[in-house]
Amino acid sequence: AGWKTQTVPTVDAPEDLILYETHIRDFSAFDSKLSSPSYRGKYKAFSETDSYGMTHLLKLKEAGLNTVHLLPTYDLSTINENTADAIDLYDSMKKVCALVEDLDVCNDDNAQSLTLNELLSSYEPSSDKAQSVMEQIRGSDNYNWGYDPYHYTVPEGSYAVNPEGFSRIIEFREMVMSLHSKGFRVIMDVVYNHTFASGLAEKSVLDKIVPHYYHRYDPVSGSLEMSTCCDNTATENAMMEKLMSDSLVTWAKQYKIDGFRFDLMGHQPKDAMLRARKAVKQVDNDTYFYGEGWNFGEVANNRQFVQASQTELAGTEIGTFTDRLRDAIRGGNFQTAK
């Protein structure tokens, strides 16, 4: 209700965007003032009024905040959407022990009566016990940053109270509309530079449609390029570019996402990014594109195409992060502060 008639906040210029980056699960995972415990870590938490998270956001709005940047919230590969098979902080240790074999703490009968959160909180903060437990269960818990794309154009189900069918679509739209109604623009973190898997792997999608087309391979060895951490996509290929563009248009048109932050944008052609932006502007003339314009890997220095990198995007109205300002303030990633 109200989706088609909602008012979307505007800014006079991209330079006026003041962004707050947040992770959908982290935003409300510990919030005890939600109207329902089932909303913890969910899209629904952004529709609350008196919760700690929304109260905090509204205070920041008074200080000038006008845009919420959501970490990846498309369909993720490594979070089990079936809550019976995924570990949450508030789950009982009995469930944890049933899901994770040979967990050391499960030999302690007293631990069986606790929740995972209670167990972790019982450890001395200076000890490594909590870390040890988390290392053993991390493959089964419901947390991930989200840079592991499964389906680019589907809302992640684990953030929905009901992940089945169209419910996740409705809950995602409720989140966006709620943030709009509170005066925030909504930007989405997107990762079109790689997929989580390829080939015949369980979470491979594109290779099962057209083998060896959607990914980038070394022209000499034929090996799959993985400089982005995972299986690099080949946005220089026409249909991979179209997949990215169509996906962005869908998020802008059907979910009213106001802008996009691109992970490792420099691994994509500048022309592909410009065409994608032009397509999105057909449905949302007020959109904003920005991302990581880093120059590295097999595409570095425009080796395969003119990149959407920091040094190439001047005048395009696509923004990039600046490592120069960052490093001047706090030093580079591999420098020791003095």
Catalytic residues: 263, 292
Which residue shows structure tokens 């022990």? 97
For residue 103, the surrounding DSSP H or E stretch is none
Name 217's bridge partners. 224
Spatial distance between the Cα atoms of 208 and 225, rounded to a whole number of angstroms: 18
Q: What are phi and psi of 92, to 5 degrees?
A: -75, 150
Name 224's bridge partners. 217
CA dist 86 → 35, 99, 128, 160 (Å): 23, 8, 23, 14
Name 188's bridge partners. 70, 260
What would the two tokens of residue 262 be? 């691109």
Name 74's bridge partners. 155
What would the two tokens of residue 162 be? 């009901």
Residues 6+ apart with CB under 8 A from 83: 142
Q: Is the Cβ–Cβ distance between 279 and 247 less than 8 Å?
A: no
Spatial distance between the Cα atoms of 258 and 330, rounded to a whole number of angstroms: 31
**DSSP 3-state percent helix, strand, coil across the chain (nearest 5):** 40, 15, 50
What would the two tokens of residue 190 be? 């997107």
Q: Using the Cα atoms of residue 274, residue 279, residue 281 and residue 284 in order, give the sign of their dihedral.
A: negative
State how beta strands 231-232 and 194-195 pair.
Answer: antiparallel
